[in-house]
Amino acid sequence: MNSGPSARRGPKPKPDTRDNLIRAGLQAIHADGFAATGIQGIVERADVPKGSFYNHFASKEAFGAEVLDAYSDLGLERLRAFLANSDLPPLARLGAYFDDRIKAFTAGGYARGCLLGNFSAEAADHSPLIREHLVQHWDAWTKALEGCLAEAQGQGAIDGRLAPASLARFILNSWEGALLRMRVEKTGSALIECKSMILETLLPSRRPS
């Protein structure tokens, strides 16, 4: 039968060329933006001949989508790790995540922001492929947050009339907006204010009488 994956032909691919390209591309695109990043710079960073790039990726656009995937997967894993920490009540986990990110962005000089937001601004309008990936990733991050909020609501830490799904979307969107402001001001204020506005004002809110 031998119905397994058909054996490949051709020279052995250097096993980590592809990963090296993704890694180099992630660094470069995160630092400089998608449009401003050239294939040339990426292949040089990855120490890969320029022509080899298109053996692994159909286009710059497809490459960008994979870089985005890699970034999102990593970040989502971290988010989930924080939100799953059962040593803390749900909202404290969210607070800890915020604090961790604030610390990281502070260490990074308040630059670069979140690649999801960056791609959304730069590529969502022009690349249907990247846009589709963005939809999935934003949604996945939202879902992770939503789970935590639902848990908090179950414990009475959040007004029962607020829908966790809407809250999660709003919180994530607001955080991304705060990241834009942070990059402009080169200060952590926007992030700190975002955290406190959400955790101290929005979530504990009660409807007006």
Residue among 57 and 138 whose Cβ is closer to a second copy: 138
Q: List the interface residues with a second copy, window 80-119 (CB under 8 A).
A: 111-113, 117-118
Q: Per-residue contact track with a second copy, 144 to 163, x per CB under 8 A?
A: ------------------x-
Query: By CB neighbour count within 10 A (0-12 exposed, 13-18 middle, 19+ buried), where does 126 fall?
Result: exposed
Instruction: Find the binder of DNA among 55, 106, 166, 205 (CB under 7 A).
Output: 55
Helix (H, G, I), strand (E, B) or coil at 70: helix
Nearest by Cα to 165 from 183, 153, 176: 153
Instruction: Find the binder of DNA among 31, 54, 84, 108 (CB under 7 A).
Output: 54
DSSP state of 84: T
- The CB density around residue 109, as the number of other CB atoms within 10 Å, is 9
| φ, ψ of residue 57 in degrees (nearest 5) | -135, 140
Check residue 92 for interaction with DNA (CB under 7 A): no
Angle at 74 between CA 184 and CA 117, to 5 degrees: 30
The site for DNA (CB under 7 A) is made up of 6-14, 17, 37-41, 48-56, 59-61
Binding-site ranges for a second copy (CB under 8 A):
31-33, 35-36, 111-113, 117-118, 120-122, 124-126, 131, 134-135, 138, 162, 166-167, 169-170, 172-178, 180-181, 183-186, 189-190, 193-194, 197, 201-202, 204-208
